[in-house]
Amino acid sequence: MSLLLAAPILIPLTAAVLCVLAWRHRTLQRGISIAGAAGLLASAVALFQQVSASGPVASQMGNWPAPFGITLVADTLACIMLLINGFLAVCIVLFSLGGIGQRREAGGYHALVHGMLAAVSGAFVTGDIFNLYVWFEVMLMASFVLMTLGGQRGQLEGATKYVTLSLISSMLFLSGVGVLYAVTGTLNMADLAVKFAAVENSALAVSLGLLFFVSFGIKAAVFPMFFWLPASYQTPPPVIAALFAGLLSKVGIYAIIRTFTLIFSHEPQMVYTIMLAVSGLTMVIGVFGAAVQTEIRRILAFHSVSQIGYMLMGLAVTGAAVADGLPGGSVAAGASASASTSAVNAAIPEFAVMALAGTVLFLVHHAIVKTNLFLVGGIVLKLRGTTVLARLGDLYLTRPWLAVLFMVTAMSLAGVPVATGFWAKLVLVRAGLAGGEWIIVAAALGTGVLTLYSMTKIWSEAFWKVTPDAADLAAAGQHPTDEAIDAADIGPRGVPIMMTVVAVMAVATVALGVLAGPCYRVAERAARELLEPQAYIRAVLGPTAGRPASASEPAPAAASAGGVPSQR
Amino acid sequence: MLAPAVCRLAGRATGYLLAAVVGVTAVYFAAQVPVIAQGQTLRQAIAWVPELGVSLSFSLDGLSLLFALLVTGVGLFIVLYASSYLQDDALLGRFYAYLMGFMASMLGLVLADNILTLFIFWELTSVTSYLLIGFDHKDAKARKAALQALVVTGSGGLALLAGLVLLQLASGTGELSSMLASGFTASGSELYTPIVVLVLIGAFTKSAQIPFHFWLPGAMTAPSPVSAYLHSSTMVKAGVYLLARLTPILGGGSGGPQGWTITLSVVGGLTMLWGAFVASRQTHFKRVLAYSTVSSLGMMVMLIGAVSAAPVAGAAAATAAGLATYILAHACFKGALFMVAGAVDHAVHLKDVEQVGGLGRVMPFTAAAAVTATISMMGVPPLLGFAAKEQVLVTMLAGGPGSMLGAVLVVAAAVASVLTVLLALLVGLKPFIGPLMSTSEPPHEGPVRLWLGPVALGVAGLVAGIAPWLFAEPIVRAAAAAVAGVPRGELAAMPVDLSLGHLLHLGPALYISLGAIAAGVGLFVLRARWRAITAPLDKLDWLTAERAYEAIFHGGVLGLASLSTRIFQNGSLRVYIRIVMLAVLASAGLALAGSGGAFLGRDLLGDVKADTTMIEGVLVSLIIAGAVAATLVGSRLAAIVAVGLVGYCIALLFVVFGAPDVAMTQFAVETLSVIILLLVVFRLPRFNGKSSRPARIFDAGIAIGVGVLMTGLVLAAQSNLAAQPISHFFAERSLTEGYGRNVVNVILVDFRALDTMGEITVLGIAAVGIWTLLRIRPTRSGEISATARRAGTGPGAGHDSGTAAAEDGKDGVPS
């Protein structure tokens, strides 16, 4: 079992190392890459089955007991995220066979992808807040290098913004971890869940929670901190943007969900009001950006921002409901609120579970659909050498199957039945209405209209329209090729495998939509585990944990009379 | 049936094959008429997502049957018609796919028992309609019309979704049959008003009611079979269907809430009048038909309002019967006329009614069908159109609320029927009479598939009028019962009589009807004058709704979108950082400051004063001085030195606090950083683009704010220790179990080895990155910078970022 939890990290990491060793052998790298991705997916499936059967599982790295070493732990949410990671890994790697271009492939592309996959897996399974920070750093470095791969000027420009804002996020995160450790003396998240509940000072708890929220919010690209995303997703080859769209911002949202259900689970209403406002503005401002763009990748990038808002919405609705139910907020309740399972149960209304399940569904939905749309963009780029709408056209006639696959995926993104987008939206809307959060529901629905609009814009321009002839374009000062693709890589070679991948993902979004019942039940289970984290805590700390009584009495004030505490 | 036909290009046979499928379905539904007419309801359900109250449940009652018959019956002839009308189109296969997809969705919509399942099909009809309106995809006008229709109906659809979810929450069930069976009426719920408003927005957008009607005439860019089918017979009636379906629940049956009745009556009445009026001013075939369809839809909505307004159950049932009859009649004559218009266009390639004439002799079958439909539309006996209009007038005169509104509506209906007569004659008679116009090639009758549909629908209208007991009456009775909420047992007693003998007795209704016909014929003769007189009013329609859409959607929403994007995505990294830091202050900072120092708990400053040694004080002062200096000095070199000072002082602090090993690491890192930075700086240009003085002061404020916040957090942490730190464990076990005397080392390589592995990975990836960045040169660099500037996020995007990106010297563990 210990190995199973580490496998999602170790498999891609091994693949990355092997790819570096096989630096000059492209075919060998491809083989390693595919095998690694398949292995990642297989390990995720195995882990999901185990967790489905027996609840959250944990494993202590180096066999050091729980709060002292680093714990890896997987509950249903983590397994779902790992499944996404594995599925996208396989799709992306296969797509890359046609979609990345020789020059970039020779530049260590496969190794970098697997480095990033390992980091994403690590972020999902770690049970240690500082270890989470480490995986964030790995992910940041891998994604930064992938973003600059090819070294075009536009890429470097976008990547600079990305890396700068990400480092600010890291700084805030690290500061937050430092303060958290100073207060509780622990880094293990399950241990934190128990000990942080004992912090009686609400101002500190709120301020610290919001510090983490801002830090993860930058990663997740929420309003008003999303700038790096549109600036950087539009410049690398679409397959790389697809990988980012599917995974990067998800990790940020995952971290918000994890910390706010486990550690900062007793925040007062105000925090969730902020979160609701942020989520609404993220949706609206993001889709506003998408509505006015005229280039496929930029439209999709802004959409990614917008859709993050939906994911946050579920958590915010849940949090607001739970905060409502807490007697007197965090201060009065103190440690007792988290102590007994039944008390928590009583405080959580059904729609709060549903809202969080909606967030989970939306995570899955968006990862598949947005990735696939970027991949469609990649095919368009490979066929035509550009993704500027004004220069495209005729794909409806020349590439009917691409048209079908785009339409299915785009409609799923816009929330049209019966694909995943509709269900995710329905769950969120229903939970929001049941919770009486009218404004956020209105924002979510209004955003849907503009989403539909911007998707049909791509359809109308790239697929339906007649391609403007070259003379007109030259007169308009349009450049023949995009910098994300080398002239040598333009052409139909490799397109069949790319199409196959896109088709698989399109089928996936529809199939998961048709199987909405089982999908919802899994999402609901994930939500329940998050809202009643006792099983998670017990898996990490052992069967006696979850009762804050003995192990951790509040430190006497005199114990730390000195200035900066020396922890050694 | 629910599987959209695979787009098989199996030659000409495809059309017949699909028609056969549709025909079988139509026969199936027709066979259910006797059963349903008994008041029975067929129901099938499969659980789908019970947690969300969604199930694949379908039920067939009178109202569903009426619409199912329309969908499949008209659909049958439309498929045949299209197979001839579009037989040379390369994309005929896709057309079939869309059409069959639409048909399946529409059937699903009218059969669904679960309101969310209904919504799913509702959305699917919008999407297939989009694809069909834009079928002529090379035409920019068609694309625009398709988008407009989708935006309008899509927005309405989202409102409807919210409304239906609320309805579900209010009623506790998603099944229409359960709501009806339990006698649930939403008017008691506190959610009633939002439910009604949202549902009405959904229905009005779909059924082209004022002020959302403008998309429908635009949608006429679709091929004729699509106009005839989606935009006259079926899809646009989805809103009518929904309102009729929800009448017992939202309208409260007879004597329902005032708001519902008044809204439906006023909106429906206005739409009816305005549609008819605008139509009377058009000469383009399909635009006449489109606006007259708008008018008819308005009438249906008005009638639904009247059902709830009826004072007694009997009157409600009679009104509902009028509604059902009208829906049936309208589908027959309007569908036929649309197909006729397409056939005429096909034959002579003219789209203006006034230019076409004398086709009666060369296109006898089409002409016969057209005239039959015209007579029905005019409301002349013995066709079904007469029965419909007569019933409507009778019930409105008798069962109306008797108020001002009732009287106004009767007048409106009369005026609308005058105009309708004009419209009927214009499109159904005018092209076939008079002298034959001259065309380049002699016009001739189209193939049988082109006229079979109109003829069949015409005949259906005629048969239903003469012999209503054959099929019209049972259907109408059952449908009306569903709308008016008549219990099953009382079905037979419903006062529904469509026979001519019953309707043709002299009374005010008949007088109005005859007067309207006479006035309409007169107006037809004098139509040129009518158009001249009303010309000034013509601009109005265009000014109101469509302009408003343009203004709201393109001017308003997209303008706002553009503005917000320019503000928030302005390309300047400095602004981005500023906003992020402001966000930190506004959230975490305010939260801490808001508590007014309560977080400190005790006199920390006193403690700090007491415990701070001389050397600590000096070091801290140096750190602060170095940090301030770094921001003030004018050259990079000096700034690096200042930052270096900060680093060395921190390292010395480690020494003071007894961590020489950490201090040594810190010294090494600082030294290397300063050397590398100095090397890099020599290759960089001078500082440029310094910000203005106010901006610098503002930024300084932010920086100080963030610093204060961090200090506050640390102090707050010190005064709120919640538990003993776990570090004692490391100190105890380091030697005994980790076999190392240096605790930091043991933490790095054993206790928290996974962190170290991660950090090594960071370094490895950075190495790969640097290697590739140096090895893989961009191609055509000169050209690229031009592209980059255009593709960049904004003006000056590349000039404000002085950060050395690869400098990421984070090392491990907190200690």
**Which of B761, B762, B781 to substitute to test the interface with A, most A CBs within 10 Å?**
B761
* Contact at CB, B155 and A234, closer than 8 angstroms: no
B642 in a domain, yes or no?
A: yes
Cα Dmax for chain B? 115
Same domain? B207 vs B289: no
Instruction: Please give the residue range of the domain that contains residue A246.
Output: 2-541
Q: What is the pLDDT of residues B198-233, one digit of tens each?
A: 999 999 999 988 888 888 888 888 888 888 888 888
> Cβ contact (<8 Å) for B579 and A198?
no
Query: Is B725 in contact with A185 (Cβ distance < 8 A)?
Result: yes
Mutation target to probe the B interface, by most B beta carbons within 10 A, among A452, A457, A489, A510 is A452
DSSP-derived secondary structure letter, B497: -
Q: What is residue B776's predicted lDDT score, i.e. its pLDDT?
A: 67
Among the partner residues A62, A115, A181, nearest to B753 by beta-carbon distance: A62
Beta carbons within 10 angstroms of residue B270's beta carbon: 18
End-to-end CA distance of chain B: 69
Report helix, strand or coil for B356.
coil
Which residues in chain B are closer than 8 Å to A466, comparing Cβ atoms?
138
DSSP state of B352: B
Closest to B623 measured CA to CA, from B654, B599, B601: B654
Residue A417 lies in a domain: yes
Q: What is the distance between the alpha carbons of residues A486 and A102, in angstroms, rounded to a whole number?
A: 9
Q: Give pLDDT, residue A564.
A: 37
Residues B28 and B96 in one domain: yes
Output the DSSP codes for A26-64: HHHHHHHHHHHHHHHHHHHHHHHHHHHHH--EEEEGGG-
- Establish if B774 belongs to a structural domain: no
> Is residue B581 in some structural domain?
no
Question: According to DSSP H, which parts of B444-572 are helical?
Answer: 448-466, 472-484, 500-503, 508-525, 527-541, 547-549, 559-568
Which residue in this structure is represented by tokens 């008429």?
B33
User: What crossing angle do the helices spanning A516-531 and A76-99 adopt, rounded to 10°?
Assistant: 130
| Residue A567 forms part of a structural domain | no
Q: Is residue A547 part of a domain?
A: no
B194 and B309 both lie in a single domain: no
Nearest Cα of chain B lies from the Cα of A286 at a distance, in angstroms, of 8
In a domain, A559, yes or no: no
Q: What is the mean pLDDT of chain B?
A: 80
Residue of A nearest to B729 (CA): A68
Cα B529 to its chain centre, rounded Å, is 42
Residues of A in contact with B769 (CB under 8 A): 112, 141, 144-145, 148
If asked whether residues B244 and B275 sit together in one domain, one would say: no
Q: What is the 3-state secondary structure (H, E, C) of A184-247?
A: HCCCEHHHHHHHHCCCCCHHHHHHHHHHHHHHHHHHHCCCCCCCHHHHHHCCCCHHHHHHHHHH
Residues B189 and B310 in one domain: no
Preferred mutation among B768, B800, B810 to probe A, highest tally of A CBs within 10 A:
B768
Instruction: Give the whole-angstrom CA distance, residue B39 versus residue B474.
Output: 10
Question: Looking at the domain assignment, is residue B576 inside a domain?
Answer: no
Q: Tell me, what's the pLDDT at A290? A: 87
pLDDT value of residue A133? 95
- Whether A111 maps to a domain, the answer reads yes
Using a 10 angstrom Cβ sphere, with 0-12 exposed, 13-18 middle and 19 or more buried, the burial of residue B610 is: exposed
In total, how many domains does chain A have? 1
Q: Is A550 part of a structural domain of the chain?
A: no
Number of domains in chain B: 3
Residue B307 has pLDDT above 50, yes or no: yes
Reported confidence tier of residue A113, pLDDT bands at 50, 70, 90: very high
**pLDDT bucket at A557, cuts 50 / 70 / 90:** very low
**pLDDT tens digits, one per residue of B725-740:** 888 888 888 888 878 8
Nearest to A238, CA basis, from A408, A382, A112, A395: A382
* B451 lies in the same domain as B469: yes
Whole-number Å distance between alpha carbons of B761 and B812: 12
Which region among A271-285, B127-141, B178-192 has the lowest average model confidence (pLDDT)? B178-192
3-state helix, strand, coil in chain A (%, to 5): 75, 0, 20
State both tokens at A134.
């480490």
B247, B483 in Cβ contact below 8 A? yes
Both tokens of residue B570? Answer: 């302005």
User: How far is B531 from chain A, CA to nearest CA, in Å?
Assistant: 37
Closest in A137, A167, A554 to B758, CB measured: A137
Write out pLDDT tens, residues B76-133. 888 888 888 888 777 888 888 888 889 989 999 999 999 999 999 999 999 999 999 9
Decide if B172 contacts B221 (C-beta within 8 A): no
Residues from chain B contacting residue A224 (CB–CB below 8 Å): 568, 579-580, 583
Same domain, yes or no: B225 and B264: no
Q: Quick check: helix, strand or coil at residue A478?
A: coil
CB contact (8 A) between residue A61 and residue B753: yes
Residue A487 per-residue DSSP state: G
Closest-CA residue of A relative to B725 is: A185
Asked if the Cβ–Cβ distance from B805 to A144 is below 8 Å, we say yes
User: Does B762 reside within a domain?
Assistant: no
Same domain (yes/no): B359, B211: no
- DSSP code, position A389: G
Residues of B in contact with A111 (CB under 8 A): 768
Whole-number Cα distances in Å, B720 to A202, A271, A560, B331: 10, 20, 10, 76
CA–CA gap between residue A167 and residue A143 (Å, rounded): 13
Per-residue pLDDT at A330: 37
pLDDT digit string, tens, across residues A295-315 = 898 899 999 999 999 999 999
Nearest to B727 among A130, A131, A568 (CB): A568
Q: Identify whether A482 is part of a domain.
A: yes
Note whether A64 contacts B751, CB cutoff 8 Å: yes
* pLDDT value of residue B812: 31
User: Which chain A residue has its CA at the smallest distance from B765's CA?
Assistant: A142
- One domain for residues B164 and B43: yes
Contact predicate A5/A85, CB 8 Å: no
Please check whether residues B235 and B364 belong to one and the same domain: no
> Distance (Å, rounded) from C-alpha B349 to C-alpha B330?
26
Query: Which of B561, B713, B723 is opposite residue A179, by nearest beta carbon?
Result: B713
At which of B664, B682, B700 does a domain end? B682
User: How far A451 CA lies from chain B's nearest CA (Å)?
Assistant: 10
pLDDT at B639: 86
Give the C-alpha separation, A139 to A123, whole Å: 9
Range of the domain at B243: 1-250
Beta strands A57-60 and B42-49 are unpaired
Structure tokens that stand for A63 in this block: 């066999």
pLDDT at B797 over 90: no
Q: Crossing angle, helix A26-54 and helix A109-125, to 10 degrees?
A: 10
Is B612 within the bounds of a domain?
no
- What pLDDT, on a 0 to 100 scale, did the predictor assign at position A43? 95
Name the residue with higher pLDDT: B125 or B636: B125
Look at residue B775 and tell me if it is in a domain. Answer: no
CB nearest A112 (choices: B159, B725, B765): B765
Measured distance CA(B187)–CA(A124) in Å, rounded = 48
Pick the most confident of A84-93, B179-188, B267-276, B652-661: A84-93
Among the candidates B199, B219, B250, a domain finishes at B250
The answer as to whether A269 is a domain residue is yes
Q: Tell me how far apart the alpha carbons of residues A170 and A168 are, in angstroms, rounded to a whole number.
A: 5
Q: What is the pLDDT of residue B556?
A: 76
- Both B411 and B466 in one domain: the answer is yes
CB B98 within 8 A of CB B131: yes
Chain B residue with minimal CA distance to A180?
B717
Q: Which residues have a Cβ under 8 Å from the Cβ of A291 and sit 6 or more positions away? A: A450, A453, A454, A457, B557, B558, B561
A111·B768 Cβ contact <8 A: yes
Task: Report yes or no on B673 lying in a domain.
Answer: yes
Contact criterion met (CB < 8 Å) for A214 and B580: yes
**Residues B395 and B495 placed together within one structural domain of the fold:** yes
Write the residue in B722, B783, B803 that is nearest to A164 by C-beta: B803
Provide φ and ψ at B454, rounded to 5°: -55, -40
Distance from CA of B158 to the nearest CA of A (A): 6
| Helix pair angle (B313-348, B384-399), 10° resolution | 140
ipTM of the complex: 0.88
Q: Do B588 and A207 touch (CB under 8 A)?
A: yes
Angle, alpha carbons B608-B610-B611 (nearest 5°): 65
- CB A8, CB A85: distance < 8 Å: yes
Tell which of B507, B525, B543 closes a domain.
Answer: B525
What's the confidence (pLDDT) of residue A523? 94
